[in-house]
Structure 1
Amino acid sequence: MAAIIKAFKGVSPRIHETAFIADGAVVIGDVEIGPESSVWYGCVIRGDVNRIRIGARTNIQDGSIIHCNHDPKGDYRETGGGMPTLIGDGITIGHMALLHACTLEDGSFVGMRAVVMDQAVVQEGAMLAAGALLTPRKVVESGTLWAGSPARHARALTEAERGFLPYSAANYAKLAAAHKQAS
């Protein structure tokens, strides 16, 4: 099954030519995906009620879901309201993560099966552990690991973990290029 790239209300996804969108992924509406980013098998990215922006060299691993939040006053393109989902550069988003109307800053990491809710922020160089539930408006500070449900500050990242964040994004960019070439 090929990837589904679909317009919604006259707005089509904008996907950089070097990005990799795997078979079975679904990308709908006001979504922008930057260079060397990857959207893996079974992901759904639905920009139907607000915008979703994904930077460069960011990987969204298998089965993840990304959505945003509408503006009850009307179309977000006219009102400027609602809550977009903003995902920066060089980010790893683990398998089966759920992101909703949140912000992930450059170089951050979201573990497998983690949930990031409305207006929550994972700051640059921060890590949200696998299975964590980051509730609305919480902020994972740079250089820290948050874990649990609900997620709480666990500790500072080790030097090895800090080094792993850019490695993970670069490694997935290479893997995506190989998958794209094999397609």
Structure 2
Amino acid sequence: MALYEFEGRCPTLVDQERCYIAPGTHLIGDVHLGVDSSVWFGAQLRGDNEPLIIGDGSNVQENCVFHTDPGCPLTIGTNTTIGHGVILHGCTIGSNVIIGMGAIIMNRSIIPDNSIVGAGSLITEDKQFDEGHLIIGRPAKAVRPLNDEEIIGIAKSAQSYIERGQRFKKSC
């Protein structure tokens, strides 16, 4: 794990004892990690232009790349799962969301609460969607509302990574 100050801005962890940051991860500049959040091996989070905020209980899996542009902060809500290899660029991700592996989400796009973005999806700039939908494709579209079981599954995914992060913290 490497934490880098950039132009006087440093990464912050709300509660270092309750966050897990894997080796090989880089947090640069104005990056904020909430309680019970985790950032996994190889992830690169760069808050050099605007704040980059990861909410409580959210997880950023291996090899993700996050960046901000001037005027485009990056915010992730609570209990959200960001899958392996996702690229997020100056966007807003709500709470209780899954972003599938390899998805790309561009500046000023908004993914609302209780949503799933399918693996490999591309969300171009300035896109917004209704809450509680499955969003898939290149370019992505909302294809249907999520059912109750799927929304519960999103919360279970986030909880499993909270627990996994604590296991890794004790073991590694």
The reply to whether TM is greater than 0.5 is yes
Q: How many percent of aligned residue pairs carry the same amino acid?
A: 34
Does structure 2 conserve the Cα–Cα contact (< 8 Å) formed by 1:125 and 1:142? Answer: yes
Counterpart Cα distance in 2 of 1:27 and 1:34: 14
**Which residue does the alignment assign to 1:75?**
none
1:128 and 2:117 matched: yes
2:8 corresponds, among 7, 10, 16, to 10
Distance in structure 2 (CA, Å) of the matches to 1:170 and 1:140: 25
| Cα distance in 1 between the residues matched to 2:61 and 2:160 | 13
Structure 1: give runs of 5+ residues left out of the alignment. Answer: 71-81
1:21 maps to which residue?
21
Are positions 1:114 and 2:112 aligned together? no
Q: Helix, strand or coil for the counterpart of 2:23? A: coil
Normalised by the length of structure 2, the TM-score is: 0.96
Tell me which structure has the larger Cα radius of gyration: 1
Are 1:161 and 2:150 matched, yes or no?
A: yes
Structure 2 gaps, min length 5:
none
Superposition RMSD in Å: 0.8
Structure 1 residue 27: deviation in Å? 0.3
- The TM-score with structure 1 as length reference comes to 0.91
Residue 135 of structure 2: which of 138, 146, 150 is its match?
146
Q: Name the SS for the 1:155 alignment partner.
A: strand
Number of residues of Structure 1 aligned to a counterpart in Structure 2:
170
The letter for the 1-side match of 2:106 is M
Match of 2:45 in 1: 45
Supply the distance in 2 between the matched residues of 1:10 and 1:51 (Cα, whole angstroms): 13
Query: Contact 1:126–1:140 at 8 Å: present in 2 too?
Result: no
Give CA deviations for 1:19-63 in whole Å, capped at 9, x if unaligned. Answer: 100000000000100111000000000011111011101000000
Deviations 1:64-116 (A, max 9, x none): 0111112xxxxxxxxxxx11001111000000000000001111111000011
Q: Structure 1 residue runs of 4+, over 6 Å off? A: none
**Residue 140 (structure 1) shift:** 2.8
